[in-house]
Structure 1
Amino acid sequence: MFKIRKATEQDIPTIFDLIKKLAVYEKLENEVVTSEEELKKNVFDNGFAKVLIGEEDGNPVGFALYFYNFSTFVGKPGIYLEDLFVEPDRRGKGYGKKLLIELAKIAETENCGRFEWSVLDWNTPSIEFYKSLGAKPMDEWTVFRLDKQGISELAKL
């Protein structure tokens, strides 16, 4: 039996474990610099993000971490899915799709104008999965990023 629920502070160790497993899958283990304390502060204390936990028979097997953005052209908030992950041995059961459906329901209930996310170029299975759900790649857009050092350097100008 699969169930989706909102994460609570008690889920921080589980969320952190799933983040580390996602990093391994994406070959980005060295990029994980957060901690359980950082997640508590920024997700639960400051409310910068929200997390859904997917459970199979009461055991966490996946998560979706998202936050709200805003479209100036649409004039409405949107949901940005930062990460979606289902344990590799639990894939193929529709759990990822159920997590995306739950997020779409949240976006619809909250009158969001968009529901967006990014995917690594090499992740063909996920790209095909998202396309099968009606999602469209935004090929004409390029993502830009400043890391902590870049932010500091720009802020000093």
Structure 2
Amino acid sequence: MTSPVIPTVRPARPRDVPAVVAMVHELAEYERAPDQCHLTAEQLTSALFPTALGGDTPSPAPALFGHVAVDEHDQPIGFALWFLNFSTWAGVHGIYLEDLYVRPTARGTGAGRLLLATLADICVRRGYRRLEWWMIDWNPAAGFYASIGAEPMSEWVPYRLSGAALHDLAVQATPAGTRSAD
């Protein structure tokens, strides 16, 4: 009898992008919103590895970071995509976890816990005070998150500005006709 292989976690590499994009689409399907997911490999590559797409001018540092949980064959079975946020009250950065996903066949292997532990370790080593994320309210992962000591932030209400409302507000940023091309 063989014991189950414990996954490992490492920073995402350019060759992991197709698997991560596929898992993002799997996550959108799981969250009952596949029509809202439009991520492409080119977009994710550009976000995670700004210089990977070539070009003669240096690219800015990435604003998105990623880690993958991999199996014994170094194949991604889960991922965490995250970026830095900043607490003006604490005066330090934190990590905002945009998405964490483990493929159904790899659930129960510890991959999700290892991904979160990796991000917690980054926070501790860098002096960040928070690791935060949102979760859809019906996700059964709530029990797992509670088991590691995560607390829901019910007193904070998320807001989003997008689509036409975003554009309507944007036109108010400068007097008409003077908008720059940023």
- Does residue 36 of structure 2 align to residue 31 of structure 1? yes
Match of 1:131 in 2: 146
Give 1:16's aligned residue.
21
4+ runs deviating over 6 angstroms: none
Structure 1 position 78 matched with structure 2 position 94: yes
More helix by share: 1
Structure 1, 57-66 or 35-44: larger mean CA deviation: 35-44
Answer with 87-96 or 131-140: which moved more. 87-96
Q: Which amino acid aligns with 2:68?
A: I
Query: Secondary structure of 2:141's partner?
Result: helix
Report how far residue 89 of structure 1 moved: 1.5
Count residues in correspondence. 156
Which is strand-richer, 1 or 2?
1
Q: Which residue of 2 aligns with 1:121?
A: 137
Corresponding residue to 2:8 among 3, 6, 14: 3
Cα RMSD of the aligned pairs, angstroms, is 1.2
- How far 1:148 moved relative to its partner? 4.1
TM-score by length of 2: 0.82
- Take 2:102 and 2:165, find their aligned partners in 1: how far apart are those partners? 32
Q: Give 5+ residue unaligned stretches, structure 2.
A: 51-59, 173-182
- Identity among equivalent positions (%) equals 38
Residue 152 of structure 1: aligned partner? 167
Counterpart position of 1:40:
45
| Structure 1 range deviating more: 38-47 or 48-57 | 38-47
Q: Measure the CA separation in 2 of the matches of 1:12 and 1:114.
A: 27
1:26 and 1:72 mapped to 2: Cα distance?
Answer: 32
1:42, CA displacement in angstroms? 2.0
CA distance in 2, matches of 1:48, 1:32: 20
Partners of 2:75 and 2:46 in 1: CA distance: 25
CA distance in 2, matches of 1:143, 1:133: 23
Paired amino acid for 1:51? G
State the distance in 2 between where 1:143 and 1:29 align: 22
